[in-house]
Protein backbone atom coordinates (compact mmCIF):
# COMPACT_ATOMS: atom_id res chain seq x y z
CA UNK A 1 0.00 0.00 0.00
CA UNK A 2 1.06 3.56 -0.62
CA UNK A 3 -0.14 7.04 0.09
CA UNK A 4 -0.89 8.70 -3.24
CA UNK A 5 -0.83 12.40 -4.02
CA UNK A 6 -4.25 14.04 -4.03
CA UNK A 7 -4.89 15.94 -7.25
CA UNK A 8 -5.83 19.58 -6.74
CA UNK A 9 -8.44 21.80 -8.38
CA UNK A 10 -7.23 22.96 -11.76
CA UNK A 11 -5.92 19.55 -12.81
CA UNK A 12 -7.97 18.44 -15.86
CA UNK A 13 -8.35 14.89 -14.51
CA UNK A 14 -10.86 16.22 -11.97
CA UNK A 15 -13.13 17.45 -14.76
CA UNK A 16 -13.17 14.27 -16.86
CA UNK A 17 -15.63 11.40 -16.87
CA UNK A 18 -14.31 8.21 -15.27
CA UNK A 19 -14.41 4.83 -16.98
CA UNK A 20 -16.26 1.87 -15.46
CA UNK A 21 -14.28 -0.99 -13.98
CA UNK A 22 -14.84 -3.98 -16.27
CA UNK A 23 -12.79 -6.50 -14.28
CA UNK A 24 -11.33 -6.67 -10.79
CA UNK A 25 -7.59 -6.94 -11.44
CA UNK A 26 -4.56 -6.77 -9.15
CA UNK A 27 -4.13 -3.13 -10.27
CA UNK A 28 -7.69 -2.32 -9.14
CA UNK A 29 -7.07 -4.01 -5.78
CA UNK A 30 -3.82 -2.04 -5.35
CA UNK A 31 -5.69 1.16 -6.20
CA UNK A 32 -8.34 0.37 -3.57
CA UNK A 33 -5.68 -0.34 -0.94
CA UNK A 34 -3.78 2.84 -1.81
CA UNK A 35 -6.97 4.90 -1.72
CA UNK A 36 -7.80 3.53 1.74
CA UNK A 37 -4.37 4.48 3.02
CA UNK A 38 -4.47 7.90 1.32
CA UNK A 39 -7.91 8.68 2.76
CA UNK A 40 -6.88 7.63 6.26
CA UNK A 41 -3.73 9.76 6.01
CA UNK A 42 -5.71 12.78 4.74
CA UNK A 43 -8.32 12.36 7.51
CA UNK A 44 -11.19 12.83 5.07
CA UNK A 45 -14.61 11.20 4.77
CA UNK A 46 -14.38 10.25 1.11
CA UNK A 47 -12.06 9.85 -1.83
CA UNK A 48 -12.66 9.17 -5.52
CA UNK A 49 -10.15 7.58 -7.90
CA UNK A 50 -9.82 10.75 -10.03
CA UNK A 51 -8.59 12.53 -6.90
CA UNK A 52 -5.52 10.28 -6.96
CA UNK A 53 -5.09 10.64 -10.72
CA UNK A 54 -7.02 7.59 -11.94
CA UNK A 55 -10.13 7.96 -14.12
CA UNK A 56 -11.95 4.87 -12.88
CA UNK A 57 -15.38 4.66 -11.26
CA UNK A 58 -14.14 3.87 -7.75
CA UNK A 59 -14.85 5.70 -4.49
CA UNK A 60 -14.31 5.13 -0.80
CA UNK A 61 -16.57 6.68 1.84
CA UNK A 62 -16.21 6.62 5.61
CA UNK A 63 -19.66 6.09 7.13
CA UNK A 64 -21.07 7.25 10.46
CA UNK A 65 -19.62 4.12 12.14
CA UNK A 66 -16.09 5.00 10.93
CA UNK A 67 -16.10 2.11 8.44
CA UNK A 68 -14.52 2.58 5.02
CA UNK A 69 -16.91 1.49 2.29
CA UNK A 70 -15.36 0.63 -1.08
CA UNK A 71 -17.66 1.28 -4.04
CA UNK A 72 -16.77 0.16 -7.56
CA UNK A 73 -19.01 1.48 -10.36
CA UNK A 74 -21.36 3.12 -7.82
CA UNK A 75 -24.81 4.36 -8.82
CA UNK A 76 -27.31 6.18 -6.67
CA UNK A 77 -30.49 4.15 -6.95
CA UNK A 78 -32.62 5.91 -4.34
CA UNK A 79 -32.59 9.26 -2.59
CA UNK A 80 -34.96 11.17 -0.36
CA UNK A 81 -35.16 14.12 1.95
CA UNK A 82 -33.03 17.23 1.89
CA UNK A 83 -30.06 18.68 3.73
CA UNK A 84 -28.12 21.89 3.32
CA UNK A 85 -24.74 22.03 4.98
CA UNK A 86 -21.13 23.12 4.63
CA UNK A 87 -19.04 20.99 2.32
CA UNK A 88 -15.35 20.87 1.51
CA UNK A 89 -13.05 18.65 -0.54
CA UNK A 90 -9.55 17.23 -0.28
CA UNK A 91 -8.96 18.36 -3.88
CA UNK A 92 -10.15 21.91 -3.16
CA UNK A 93 -8.30 22.69 0.08
CA UNK A 94 -9.32 25.71 2.10
CA UNK A 95 -12.60 26.27 0.25
CA UNK A 96 -15.97 25.57 1.84
CA UNK A 97 -19.50 26.21 0.67
CA UNK A 98 -23.10 25.34 1.42
CA UNK A 99 -24.53 22.60 -0.79
CA UNK A 100 -27.93 21.00 -1.07
CA UNK A 101 -27.91 17.20 -1.00
CA UNK A 102 -30.42 14.43 -0.26
CA UNK A 103 -30.71 13.38 3.39
CA UNK A 104 -30.89 9.65 2.58
CA UNK A 105 -29.12 7.85 -0.27
CA UNK A 106 -28.94 4.22 -1.38
CA UNK A 107 -26.06 3.22 -3.64
CA UNK A 108 -25.58 0.07 -5.70
CA UNK A 109 -21.97 -0.90 -6.44
CA UNK A 110 -19.54 -3.79 -6.68
CA UNK A 111 -17.15 -4.80 -3.93
CA UNK A 112 -13.51 -5.82 -4.40
CA UNK A 113 -14.62 -9.37 -5.20
CA UNK A 114 -16.91 -8.18 -8.01
CA UNK A 115 -20.12 -8.86 -6.11
CA UNK A 116 -22.97 -6.37 -6.42
CA UNK A 117 -24.34 -4.91 -3.18
CA UNK A 118 -26.39 -1.98 -1.95
CA UNK A 119 -25.61 0.33 0.92
CA UNK A 120 -27.59 3.20 2.41
CA UNK A 121 -26.53 6.24 4.34
CA UNK A 122 -28.03 9.34 5.90
CA UNK A 123 -26.69 12.75 6.79
CA UNK A 124 -22.94 13.06 6.29
CA UNK A 125 -22.70 9.58 4.75
CA UNK A 126 -25.37 10.43 2.15
CA UNK A 127 -23.57 13.71 1.45
CA UNK A 128 -20.26 11.86 1.00
CA UNK A 129 -21.82 9.31 -1.38
CA UNK A 130 -23.16 12.13 -3.57
CA UNK A 131 -19.95 14.18 -3.38
CA UNK A 132 -17.67 11.28 -4.32
CA UNK A 133 -19.91 9.94 -7.08
CA UNK A 134 -20.02 13.47 -8.54
CA UNK A 135 -16.21 13.30 -8.83
CA UNK A 136 -16.62 10.34 -11.21
CA UNK A 137 -18.45 12.64 -13.64
CA UNK A 138 -16.05 15.57 -13.33
CA UNK A 139 -18.27 17.54 -10.93
CA UNK A 140 -16.78 19.32 -7.91
CA UNK A 141 -18.76 20.50 -4.88
CA UNK A 142 -17.96 24.11 -5.83
CA UNK A 143 -20.16 23.59 -8.92
CA UNK A 144 -23.16 23.14 -6.56
CA UNK A 145 -22.10 25.39 -3.69
CA UNK A 146 -23.86 28.50 -2.54
CA UNK A 147 -21.92 31.03 -0.54
CA UNK A 148 -18.63 29.42 -1.59
CA UNK A 149 -15.31 30.29 0.05
CA UNK A 150 -16.68 30.45 3.56
CA UNK A 151 -13.97 30.46 6.21
CA UNK A 152 -14.25 27.61 8.68
State the catalytic residues. Answer: 132
Task: Give Rg (Cα) of the chain.
Answer: 14
CA distance 123 to 66: 14
CA distance 76 to 108: 6
HEC profile for 62-117? ECCCCCEEEEEEEEEEEEECCEEEEECCCCCCCCCEEEEECCEEEEEEECCCCCEE
CA distance 125 to 110: 18
In angstroms, how far is CA 126 from the centroid of its own chain? 11
Amino acid sequence: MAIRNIVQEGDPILRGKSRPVEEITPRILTLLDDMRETLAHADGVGLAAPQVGVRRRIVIVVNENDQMIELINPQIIKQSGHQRDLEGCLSVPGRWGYTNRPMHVTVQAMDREGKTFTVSGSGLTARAFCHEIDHLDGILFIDHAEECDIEV
